Structure 1
Amino acid sequence: MKKITLSLFTLLFTSVFFGQTYSTGTLVLNSNNGTNLNYSAKIDVTSALITLTLIGPSTGWLGIGFDNTTMGDSGDVVIFDGTNLTDRTFNGFSAPTLDAQQDWTVTSNTVSGGVRTVVGTRARDTGDANDYVFSASAQSLNIIYARKVADFTISYHGSNSCGSILANVTLGNDNFKIEDFKLYPNPSKGFTNIELPVNIESGVVKLYDALGRVVKNQAISRNDNQINTSELTAGTYILVLRTEYGNATKTLLIN
């Protein structure tokens, strides 16, 4: 019985852990002087995999560098050359050199109305010293980017065709719903507990009576989640949970 319980726990833990996706969301990329490049990027991170989406002109190469602040850094860069997402390394301001180990796989490459959308994947940690290792959690990430409109020759991109941005990689909203928080016991007899969804560590609970008055305002956390209702009269209340990921509402009955 213990082995079955342990196996079930391991399975549940693994499915939750490996199901988490962290994302930059869609990053609209502008040049250093603010000119729109008609270029965007999105980076999705799981514990095992990186998914990179680049959207830009279909007539030239598209490039993005991870954990770099300038193109003079000696850091990881990926360039779509018309066919492949090529793994490269900056070596000053000259064209980035190809890595001996190529880790990106193009999974989708479509063109519509002169706009290319290319999607590729690689391991989060490739084991290659030239590749940036993404954290499997929320993080801030310095990104540099450039694109060339005219051709696919990996050379100077031209003025107003590059820039840098500080991206915030946060937990993707598709991993949980704030409405999934649990409220028990309900009806309440003296107290009720709030079970927060996976990855939400804290929030604020507001309890409203039938007249819309706030009768309880309490901060909660995963380890301190009990609401004392013993001083409230019997009836129906609206409980609002406020978190950094949004708000959710449930009805609480008090006997």
Structure 2
Amino acid sequence: MKKITLLITLFIVTLGQGQTFSTGTIQLFPEYSVKIDVTSSLVTLTQIMPSDRWYALAFNNSSMLSGDIIAFINTANISDRQLGGFAVPAADAVQSWTTISNTLNGTVRTVVSTRALNTGEAGDYVFSASAGSINLAAARAGNATFSLAAHGGSANAATTAAFGITLDNSEFDLNSFTMYPNPSTSATTIQLPHNISKGTVKVYDNLGRVVLNQEISNESNELNTSSLPSGNYLVVLRTDYGNATKTLLVE
């Protein structure tokens, strides 16, 4: 059984309530990449790797000898385990990760798995829904085998580097907010983009004056336009994730 070395990779996690944040693709080995997406309630892990051997990823692995680890050790699922010194990582009594997709494209396997931020299980890493950092360690078999090996010895290495995590712009398009009815006679409703729960709306007339300034949310999103003279107005939606503008016609 070939022993391998776990190497630590650091990336910064920045999370936001109601949004999806993503590491993007992190290349830990030339043939092994991971991507971690986090919302306020769910972690999604995507692994891409050769189909003929095991790979492992550890969370919060500061000493390379302890920490929460997942390992792909067969063709069906990933295994939730605990690092413990130089022994083969022991399987957790409760398997917290659920594999939702496991596909092959030639000799390349893509595995997508999910779990809660906090499983409540002892030893499981708790993902934070606030800004912070996490240590990652990646490991792989030195030859074609699904027999999980212990830490130690010499092996192929991943380069330690810093990776950022940013808002996943594929999750929503800020400019997708809608106003209806438009044209408006007495009121118009602002429908916020997917996964945005609140914002500030400012309405400008053709002289650049603010004629309406209102906080909106999914529960309170109607603008009263009955006092506005007929004409075209610029509606600016401001959120924590950027601004967007549309034109409103008042009749």
Instruction: State the TM bucket, normalised to the shorter chain.
Output: 0.5 to 0.7
1-structure distance, mates of 2:199, 2:27: 33
Whether 1:236 and 2:232 are equivalent positions in the alignment is yes
Q: Which of 73, 77, 97 is 2:90 aligned to?
A: 97
Could you tell me whether the CA contact under 8 Å between 1:21 and 1:172 is conserved in 2? no
Q: Which runs of 5+ in 2 are unaligned?
A: 1-17
Q: Which of 3, 25, 36 is 1:43 aligned to?
A: 36
1-structure distance, mates of 2:182, 2:102: 52
Whether 1:160 and 2:157 are equivalent positions in the alignment is yes
Q: Which of 113, 118, 124 is 1:125 aligned to?
A: 118
- Equivalent residue, structure 1, for 2:138: 146
Q: Which of 67, 73, 76 is 1:75 aligned to?
A: 67
1-structure distance, mates of 2:117, 2:200: 31
Q: Which of 246, 250, 253 is 2:249 aligned to?
A: 253
Q: Aligned AA for 1:154?
A: A
Greater shift, 41-50 or 115-124, is seen at: 41-50
Q: CA 1:230/1:169 → structure 2, altered by over 3 Å: closer, same or farther?
A: same
1-structure distance, mates of 2:212, 2:63: 49
Q: CA 1:123/1:196 → structure 2, altered by over 3 Å: closer, same or farther?
A: closer
1-structure distance, mates of 2:79, 2:198: 39
Q: TM-score scaled to structure 2, two decimals?
A: 0.63
1-structure distance, mates of 2:159, 2:81: 17
Partner of 1:90, secondary structure, is strand
1-structure distance, mates of 2:164, 2:78: 21
> 1:215 Cα shift?
4.6
Q: TM-score scaled to structure 1, two decimals?
A: 0.62
Whether 1:199 and 2:192 are equivalent positions in the alignment is no
> 1:78 Cα shift?
0.8
Aligned residues with identical type, % of pairs: 36
Could you tell me whether the CA contact under 8 Å between 1:178 and 1:246 is conserved in 2? no
- Equivalent residue, structure 2, for 1:27: 25
| Number of residue pairs matched by the alignment | 225
> 1:60 Cα shift?
2.7
> 1:199 Cα shift?
3.2
1-structure distance, mates of 2:159, 2:87: 14
Going by fraction, where is helix more abundant, 1 or 2? 1
The higher relative CO (CA closer than 8 Å, separation ≥ 6) is in 2
Q: Which of 52, 64, 67 is 1:59 aligned to?
A: 52
- Equivalent residue, structure 1, for 2:13: none
Q: Which of 105, 113, 116 is 2:109 aligned to?
A: 116
> 1:130 Cα shift?
1.4
Greater shift, 200-209 or 47-56, is seen at: 200-209
User: What whole-Å deviation, never above 9, does each CA across 1:90-113 have from its counterpart, x for those lacking one?
Assistant: 335665333233333333322224
Q: CA 1:28/1:233 → structure 2, altered by over 3 Å: closer, same or farther?
A: same
Q: CA 1:85/1:227 → structure 2, altered by over 3 Å: closer, same or farther?
A: same
Q: CA 1:100/1:172 → structure 2, altered by over 3 Å: closer, same or farther?
A: farther
1-structure distance, mates of 2:165, 2:100: 24
Could you tell me whether the CA contact under 8 Å between 1:23 and 1:42 is conserved in 2? no
Could you tell me whether the CA contact under 8 Å between 1:145 and 1:164 is conserved in 2? no
